[in-house]
Structures are given as structure tokens and as C-alpha cells.
């Protein structure tokens, strides 16, 4: 396994509507340990997240970057390396005109992932995707990746109709399975 694309809200952090402030961020129990396992095994970590709150005008890109800079610094201090945070700020019916578009980067579309796959020379056989929504799973499925639906966040709402290859309790359970750790 060379790389993992991981959804943010509901997969790494506790799902709260439109998290964009540091004080509202809370890691899901076991998430940092899971990310550290990936780092320790030389697996590149890409956080991939739809951020429609930007298109809705709830917060701006600067606020999003401030939060994610804080999170990645915190993770780095805990022995986790995040290669890149990939995000889509768009929503077709958003209230901020410049973001109110039908783009190719909003999951389940694959534009954000496609770019990294080409840039890093990754093969779908060497990557996986972990998320809590069917839009996450569908993005990975469209590219032929191994996919993991986790039961944190919105996962329980999607489990009965998921196309995920694997269903796991949380990101730690998914990563342990992915890496073959008991």
C-alpha cells in the first residue's frame, strides 16, 4: 500500500456541521493512532474533503486553511505525516457566486484524486480510500480502489446500501485491516 485517501469530517474528526474553527475540532478516538500506523508503514496520507461551507458562505478558504494548518501541525508533533489536504469548496447552488459551480472535484467526482494519482505516479492497486459517506466510497469505486466505509460520522446511514469493499467500525479498525495489524 503506497497511499490512502481519507475523508475528514466523520472519519478523522468528530462530525459536527461545518467544522472550521480550531476550538470545534475533535479527533475521533483512535484516529491519530491510525494515522501514525500509516506514517510508520510508509503509506502516504491524503486528506480529501468536500467543504461546501465555503460555497454556502459559512466560512472562507482562509479559515479552512488556518484550521487545517493547525491540525497538520498537531499531527506532525504526534508523529503523523500528512502529504496534502485536498478540498473542494464548491456547491452548485452555493450562495457565494465564485464557488457556486458544478465542478469535477466534489466527491463523488474524482478530480482531486485524479490529480494526485498522476502527480505521484500512483496505481489504483496501491491505494485505498476511507470515508463515512457513500460519496466518499463512490469516488474510490469509480477509480477501482479498495474502499472502506467507517461507522463513525454518517457511516451507519449508508451501511445498508454501500458499495464499499470493507465496512469497519472506525478509521483505526480500517487501517489495522488495511495494514494487516491484529
Q: For 180, phi and psi rounded to 5 degrees? A: 70, 35
Q: Would you call the peptide bond into 108 cis, given omega within 30 degrees of 0 as the criterion?
A: yes
- Does the reported pTM lie above 0.75? yes
Looking at the chain, the whole-number percentage of residues with pLDDT higher than 70 is 100
Q: 127-178: per-residue pLDDT in tens? A: 999 999 999 999 999 999 999 999 999 999 999 999 999 999 999 999 999 9
* List 9, 132, 136, 170, catalytic entry: 9
Of the candidates 76, 11, 21, 22, the residue with the CA atom closest to the CA atom of residue 50: 11
pLDDT in the model for residue 174: 98
Of the candidates 154, 141, 177, the residue with the CA atom closest to the CA atom of residue 37: 177
* List 7, 132, 136, 173, catalytic entry: 7
Residues 30, 172 contacting (CB under 8 angstroms): yes
Q: What is the mean pLDDT of residues 100-109?
A: 98
pLDDT in the model for residue 166: 98
Q: What is the mean pLDDT of residues 21-32?
A: 98
9 in active site: yes
The CATH number of whichever domain residue 24 belongs to comes to 3.40.50.1000
7 in active site: yes
Q: What is the mean pLDDT of residues 68-94?
A: 98
Mean pLDDT of the chain: 97
Name the pLDDT band for 182 (thresholds 50, 70, 90).
confident
Domain count, the chain: 1
Q: Which domain holds residue 12?
A: 3-179
pLDDT at 179 over 90: yes
Amino acid at each position: 500500500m503506497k497511499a490512502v485517501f481519507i475523508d475528514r469530517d466523520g472519519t478523522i474528526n468528530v462530525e459536527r456541521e461545518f467544522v472550521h474553527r480550531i476550538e470545534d475540532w475533535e479527533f475521533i478516538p483512535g484516529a491519530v493512532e491510525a494515522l501514525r500506523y500509516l506514517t510508520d508503514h510508509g503509506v502516504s496520507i491524503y486528506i480529501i474533503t468536500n467543504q461546501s461551507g465555503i460555497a454556502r458562505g459559512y466560512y472562507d478558504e482562509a479559515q479552512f486553511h488556518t484550521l487545517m494548518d493547525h491540525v497538520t501541525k498537531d499531527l506532525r508533533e504526534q508523529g503523523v505525516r500528512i502529504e496534502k489536504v485536498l478540498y473542494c469548496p464548491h456547491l452548485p447552488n452555493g450562495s457565494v457566486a465564485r464557488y457556486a459551480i458544478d465542478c469535477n472535484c466534489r466527491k463523488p467526482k474524482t478530480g482531486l484524486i485524479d490529480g494526485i494519482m498522476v502527480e505521484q505516479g500512483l496505481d489504483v492497486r496501491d491505494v485505498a480510500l476511507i470515508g463515512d459517506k457513500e460519496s466518499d466510497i463512490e469516488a474510490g469505486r469509480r477509480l477501482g480502489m479498495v474502499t472502506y466505509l467507517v461507522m463513525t460520522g454518517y457511516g451507519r446511514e449508508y451501511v445498508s446500501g454501500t458499495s464499499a469493499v470493507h465496512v469497519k467500525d472506525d478509521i483505526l479498525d480500517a487501517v489495522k485491516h488495511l495494514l494487516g495489524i491484529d
